[in-house]
Chain A
Amino acid sequence: MKKKFKPRKAPFILIGLFLLLFLFGIAVEEPLRVLEQAKAICLSCIGIG
């Protein structure tokens, strides 16, 4: 007999939680800051300068 499929709830709770954080970040325009940083070379970060 096939076992009944019981979905786990924990992954969906975690996904929901981090989705909220992600959306909050977008709401405060953090992606623009991230993009600004990612476009510049951080020389000291890569051991130069």
Chain B
Amino acid sequence: MEAVRKWIQFFSTFLVNGFWGFPVTKNIYQGPLKVICSPGLNCYSCPAAIAYCPLGSLQQLLLGIRFSLETGSLYVGTYVVGSMGLIGAVLGRFVCGWICPFGLFQELLHKIPSAKWRIPKVLNYGKYVFLALFVVVFPLMLVDDFGFGAPWFCKYVCPAGTLEAGIPMLILQPELKSTIGWLYWNKIVILLLFVMWSVVSSRPFCRTTCPLGAFYSFFNRHRLVRLKLNEEKCTKCGACHKVCPMEINFNETPYSPECISCMRCMTRACTYGAISLEVAGYSMLDDALPVRQKNV
């Protein structure tokens, strides 16, 4: 199952970054597919990106909301939030575990041999602060003389934007080098910090900073597809605790907002069939896995 998940992660990364004409055009994709929401964190200024980033779009709509309303347009983010909500209501944080390109990037970094550290649980709340302040409140409230805000999260924080768009655009358009300043170096430092942190800790950006993960986490209990614990079969052996990349005790908090549904607990740890995949109340895959058949 882990190999299948890796293949899906790579496939979805190439799917949302499917424009390979950029070395010729020296520019980003500008076709009609960019009206489709990228489920995971994927900067839409990445030269290969063919879908829009929901966080980037939402900030852009919110920062210009006064102008939109004054001109009689109702561009208040309903299409973007609707798209994000539909994805969240069906998959929740499955997206983080199976689709997000930046999640894959962190997982690959974590494979580098090194000492491994746990992340203090209190830092998990950080992503909600970034969602509330950097994605919604600051772009909406902190405006210039013309009534426009700034895309705070993209501009000052997002390491995915630096990796997928900032660095590649400087390579494609070297004349931009003359315009880089402290903003660029600030984002390079943030990217480097997350790269180093990802080597020693599992998915630090997803757990402490990602506003998209924070948004999807609201759906984890009531999403259509989720992991389910069968308490009658659970022996509380704690095997699921040891394999979780998000450091969740699955048998204690099966609908934890941190769960990215990577299914390691189900396929690599639980030998009692206590964890299953559930779609709208219907359990599946609970007795179908070879690891269990071997151990029963």
Q: Is the CB of B82 within 8 A of A19?
A: yes
Q: Is the CB of A25 within 8 A of B60?
A: no
Counted as pairs of residues, one from A and one from B, with CB atoms less than 8 Å apart, the total is: 160
Taking chain A's interface residues, is the majority helix, strand, or loop, or is none over half, making it mixed? helix
Q: Which residues of B contact A33 (CB under 8 A)?
A: 61, 68, 73, 75
In the assembled complex, A1 has its CB within 8 A of some CB on chain B: no
In the assembled complex, B210 has its CB within 8 A of some CB on chain A: no
Question: Other CB < 8 Å A-B pairs besides A26-B79, A30-B77, 13 of them?
Answer: A7-B280, A11-B90, A12-B224, A18-B88, A22-B78, A29-B73, A30-B61, A33-B68, A35-B34, A41-B28, A46-B162, A46-B187, A48-B170
Q: Is the CB of B86 within 8 A of A22?
A: yes
Q: Mark B45-79, 1 if CB is under 8 A from A, else 0.
A: 10000001000110011000000100001110111
Residues of B within 8 A of A (CB): 27-28, 30, 32, 34-35, 43-45, 52, 56-57, 60-61, 68, 73-75, 77-86, 88-90, 150-151, 154-155, 158, 161-162, 165-166, 169-170, 176, 179-180, 183-184, 186-188, 219, 221-224, 280-282
Q: Is the CB of B52 within 8 A of A34?
A: yes
Q: Is the CB of A45 within 8 A of B86?
A: no
Q: Is the CB of A42 within 8 A of B180?
A: no
Question: How many residues does chain A have at the interface if contact means C-beta atoms less than 8 Å apart?
Answer: 38
Residue of A nearest to B32 (CB): A35
What distance in Å separates the Cβ of A37 from its nearest Cβ neighbour in chain B?
A: 5
Q: Is the CB of A22 within 8 A of B82?
A: yes
Residues of A within 8 A of B (CB): 5-8, 10-12, 14-15, 17-26, 28-31, 33-35, 37-39, 41-49
Q: Is the CB of A39 within 8 A of B43?
A: no
Q: Is the CB of A47 within 8 A of B61?
A: no
Q: Which residues of A contact B84 (CB under 8 A)?
A: 18
Q: Is the CB of A10 within 8 A of B183?
A: no
Residue of A nearest to B34 (CB): A38
User: 14 A-B pairs, CB-CB below 8 angstroms?
Assistant: A7-B281, A7-B282, A8-B222, A11-B90, A14-B89, A14-B219, A14-B223, A25-B79, A38-B35, A44-B155, A46-B169, A48-B179, A48-B180, A48-B183
